[in-house]
Amino acid sequence: MTNQIAAASLNRTARVAGILYLLIALFAPFSMVYVPSMLIVPGDAATTAKNIMTSEGLFRLSIASDSVVFLIEIVLTVLLYVLGTHKN
Number of structural domains (the chain) is 1
Q: Exposed, middle or buried, 84 (CB in 10 Å: 0-12/13-18/19+)?
A: exposed
Closest CA to 63 of 43, 84, 36, 88: 36
Instruction: Choose between 2 and 15: higher pLDDT.
Output: 15
Contacts 24+ apart (CB under 8 A), 6-10: 10/83, 10/86
H or E element in which residue 3 lies: helix 2-29
pTM: 0.81
The domain of 43 spans 2-85
pLDDT band at 25 (very low <50, low <70, confident <90, very high): very high
